[in-house]
Chain A
Amino acid sequence: MYTTELQKTKPVASTDPADKLAAFEARVAADEFIEPKDWMPEAYRRTLVRQISQHAHSEIVGMLPEGNWITRAPSLRRKAILLAKVQDEAGHGLYLYSAAETLGTSREEMIEALHSGKAKYSTIFNYPTLTWADMGAIGWLVDGAAIMNQVPLQRTSYGPYARAMVRVCKEESFHQRQGYEIMMHLAAGTDAQKRMAQDALNRWWWPSLMMFGPPDENSPNTAQSMRWRIKRETNDELRQKFVDITVPQAEAIGLTVPDPDLKWNEEKGGYDFGEIDWSEFYAVVKGEGPVAKERMRARVKAWEDGAWIREAADAYAAKQAERNAA
């Protein structure tokens, strides 16, 4: 799962020494990796902490819409697959939190920021999962969009982030395939099943396109992030690629992309597609998604319900340390 940069911080006057900054820019321009102990501009560190922690939060919150369906999966096979996928999302969140921590933030701070509503996560998870077909649509479209975003990030300039992305991408491709397989089976099923698949595509298509973030002209930090190799392709480039590969996948299983303006453009070698409703996007970013409050409630409840086991582990570790000292 992936979130594009959702929270902008106001630019602050740089106090970075010019010679160090120049050396840093040259290293990044030469595609070298920056490692935790290397000198880096404050804005680079800040942008990365924000981007990586938002990405981590998205993985963690991303477990909720799918967790909703684990007990209702239609077969043991589907249930085992869904469990494995949700467990992967937890793992991805942990890889990313670890990567963010190398920049000097703590796990505690990040989790606190998520639970208090200060931190953002991908808007896509604030939509409800109404039917089993949503598990198909999420795997196929949401994980598909995530992969599209994450593949270039394997070459991002910050070493720990890039390495986390390599692991994530390797694991993510099964997520997309299992989702497409669900859609494929439903689309080839009874009329009611086919309608269910089409309905899921209708509801998830536009939010998936929004996952790539605001259009380039409204994404003021893109230029700097591209120069710093924090981002490797722009929001619009990635969105276009996603549309171009996904439309034929929908057609192949007899589903229709819910966009009357969708049309192959021979000249550009890609699809033209309709206007995205950005007012919806910004409303969801602000926490007005249909199930935003429910998601955070579930997340905080899980954390609080697990407190006793963290305390027990602490008490056990303290007891063992005491015995070893004696």
Chain B
Amino acid sequence: MSKDWPLWEVFVRSKGGMAHRHVGSVHAPDGEIAVKHARDTYTRRMEGVSLWVVRSSDIHASDPADDAQNFDPAQDKIYRHPTFYDIPEGITHI
């Protein structure tokens, strides 16, 4: 029984102009084979035009326990949204 190959996260660009989007992961000994496995596993039906693979261990993520301090401050800064500002009737194109 061999040990698992490293895990790679797979990102697919669905068509030109779109961002690569995470779709899942594969195991592979190196990046080249990870791309091949990603192709067979995640793009059997023209799901994309480009693939990225990233070693899962290279991804650093925010901690859900810190969600409040990370993301809540945006809630009280509603002046970042255009609808915060009252523009008088009759003024257009703004």
Contact B24 A98 (CB under 8 A): yes
Is B72 interfacial (CB 8 A cutoff)? no
Within 36-62 of A, Cβ neighbours of B (below 8 Å) are at 37-39
| Residues of A with C-beta under 8 A to B5 | 310, 313-314
Instruction: Known contacts A101-B7, A107-B4, A108-B4; decide if A88 and B44 are in contact (CB<8 Å).
Output: yes
Is B64 interfacial (CB 8 A cutoff)? yes
| Residues of A with C-beta under 8 A to B30 | 313, 316-317, 320-321
Kindly provide the distance from the CB of B46 to the nearest chain A CB, expressed in whole angstroms. Answer: 12
Within 34-64 of B, Cβ neighbours of A (below 8 Å) are at 40-42, 44-45, 61, 63-64
Kindly provide the distance from the CB of A49 to the nearest chain B CB, expressed in whole angstroms. Answer: 16
| Residues of B with C-beta under 8 A to A310 | 2, 5
Contact A35 B26 (CB under 8 A): no
Instruction: Known contacts A37-B61, A39-B64, A320-B30; decide if A98 and B1 are in contact (CB<8 Å).
Output: no
Contact A108 B1 (CB under 8 A): yes
Kindly provide the distance from the CB of B89 to the nearest chain A CB, expressed in whole angstroms. Answer: 40
Contact B25 A98 (CB under 8 A): yes
Contact A112 B64 (CB under 8 A): no
| Residues of B with C-beta under 8 A to A39 | 64-65
27 pairs from A and B in contact (CB 8 Å cutoff):
A35-B64, A37-B61, A37-B63, A38-B64, A39-B64, A39-B65, A87-B40, A88-B44, A91-B42, A94-B24, A94-B41, A95-B41, A98-B24, A99-B24, A106-B4, A107-B27, A108-B1, A112-B1, A167-B23, A171-B44, A171-B45, A307-B2, A313-B29, A314-B2, A317-B29, A317-B30, A321-B30
Task: Given contacts A84-B44, A94-B41, list 8 more A-B pairs with CB under 8 A.
Answer: A87-B40, A99-B24, A164-B24, A171-B45, A310-B2, A310-B5, A316-B29, A320-B30
Footprint of B on A, CB under 8 Å?
35, 37-39, 84, 87-88, 91, 94-95, 98-99, 101, 106-108, 112, 163-164, 167, 171, 307, 310-311, 313-314, 316-317, 320-321
